[in-house]
Amino acid sequence: MDDDLNMSIRKFLKQVGVTSQQAIEEALRAEGVDASKAHAVKMTLTIEDLGVEHVVTGEIKGKQA
């Protein structure tokens, strides 16, 4: 794969990771949610002109009491 393309992908994914973490933290603070409770999460990556839709599901949770 082209090095410039690979670097562009990595920059995009870093931006996704950083901004997603900020959005999750802000939402938890705003709602006063119990951090020990598990929350189902889903991330969808769409690249329309390539016909790509990639879905990742999981769970986030803090320490259990």
Q: What is the structure's pLDDT at 31?
A: 83
User: How far does Cα 17 stand from its chain's mean position?
Assistant: 5
Closest residue by Cα to residue 13 from 37, 45, 59: 45
The CA dihedral of 61, 44, 8, 23, to the nearest 10 degrees, is: -40
Q: What is the structure's pLDDT at 33?
A: 77
Q: What is the structure's pLDDT at 42?
A: 97
Q: What is the structure's pLDDT at 65?
A: 58
User: What global pTM score does this model have?
Assistant: 0.78
User: How far does Cα 30 stand from its chain's mean position?
Assistant: 18
For the chain, residues with pLDDT lower than 50 are: none
